[in-house]
Structure 1
Amino acid sequence: MISNVLYFLSHLQLYLLPLVETLGGWVYIALFAIVFMETGLVVFAFLPGESLVFFASTLAAITGSSLDIKILVPVFFFAALIGDTVNYEIGRNLHRLPLFRKFLSAEKLSKARAYFEKHGGKTVMFGRFIPLIRTFIPLISGSARMDYKRFCIYNLLGVLIWVVLGSSLGYFFGQLDFVQNNFSVILVSFGLISIIPGIMISLYHLIRNRQFI
């Protein structure tokens, strides 16, 4: 069984490529949904973001016609843009929930508003490049009543740079012979690395809840 698992992990491209060809256009819908949920719904902050953009673009370079980078870029762009906007709207309406008013005092809310009035633009724009954190920034922006037009401008710029940079690097990466010959190993390695922060945070909260620290 272990040998079968190791074979599967080291030959992922043999399974991924036929799967992508079989699903066809549904692949783009699935990718859109994952990026949208990761950016638009805080409960899905654990989902892959830039790693998905990067490796989907890498796979597009390897597969050629099965995945089109010209379609992937707008799919990722609009998924992230719409997701952030939805997240902002959720944050802007959180004050209606009694639970929200219980944990966020008027003083804390005032400080958050003052912060976003001064640093909101760069926070929204550059926060997009920080895993996990980027999912909460639009929510907090909405809760702090950051100007909507200002949020949209900086969010659009941040998403545009994030998608173009991730897609370009991934597509270039996928054209390298070394990557094409070792794609499965590289994909698994990056996948393991990407979940390390989430595991560390979970362990920290587990230890803290058990009052070891």
Structure 2
Amino acid sequence: METGLVVFAFLPGESLIIFASTLAAITGSALDIRILIPVFFFAALIGDTVNYEIGRNLHHLSFFRRVIPEAKLEKARSYFKKHGGKTVMFGRFIPLIRTFIPLISGTARMEYKKFCLYNFLGVLIWVTFGSCLGYFFGQLDFVQQHFSLIFVLLALITAIPGVLITLYKMLRNNVSA
């Protein structure tokens, strides 16, 4: 949902992967890491593909053509032609940004096969790294003994970017008013 529905950019995908993978290590049979990894992988892959398709079809909407000038679209096309692969693959690791990269890739008409290849690689690395990290931490005695506290701290840390963006917008609106 984080990438596939665009409006859920605030959802912390990597935190969910790490949290669930940690729980898989702690609970053993309740959550199976061998099931979680493919579920996370396909969820992210499908979400990005849906997001790409949304972007690819935005030009059909009249308000989109009024809001985004053709010159800006041409710049985006040029950028994604040159740097699209790296952007799709490594953008996966940047919270909030990862949600919009597939949308912009589709809007910029990035070649679909190229998008799919780099998206596949980015999602594979992202899910594998996050899942292994969470599973590794879940096997540590300290994490098992203090999991509730760690979960609360992780939730607070994950909320920081959203809080900072909200504060920035509020301050910017107050200054311009």
Q: Secondary structure of 1:38's partner?
A: coil
Gaps of 5+ in 2: none
For residue 85 of structure 2, the aligned residue among 118, 121, 124 is 121
2:42 & 2:36 partners in 1: Cα distance?
10
- State the 1:162 CA deviation: 0.3
For residue 167 of structure 1, the aligned residue among 117, 131, 137 is 131
Aligned to 2:157: 193
Matched, 1:104 2:68: yes
2:95 & 2:66 partners in 1: Cα distance?
28
Tell me the amino acid that sits aligned with residue 129 of structure 1: F
Matched, 1:147 2:111: yes
What's the CA shift string for 1:67-115, capped at 9, x where partnerless?
0000000000000000000000000000011221111101000000000
For residue 90 of structure 1, the aligned residue among 54, 66, 70 is 54
What's the CA shift string for 1:140-170, capped at 9, x where partnerless?
0000000000000000000000000000010
Q: Secondary structure of 1:41's partner?
A: coil
1:160 & 1:79 partners in 2: Cα distance?
11
Q: Secondary structure of 1:210's partner?
A: helix
Matched, 1:138 2:105: no
- Percent of matched pairs sharing the same residue: 75
Indicate the RMSD between aligned Cα atoms, in angstroms: 1.0
Tell me the amino acid that sits aligned with residue 71 of structure 2: E
Aligned to 2:40: 76
Tell me the amino acid that sits aligned with residue 45 of structure 2: L
- State the 1:46 CA deviation: 0.6
Q: 1:129 to 1:179 in 2, by over 3 A?
A: same
Q: TM-score, normalised by structure 1?
A: 0.81
Gaps of 5+ in 1: 1-36
- State the 1:211 CA deviation: 2.9
Alignment coverage as a number of residue pairs: 177
Q: Secondary structure of 2:2's partner?
A: helix
What's the CA shift string for 1:124-143, capped at 9, x where partnerless?
00000000000000000000
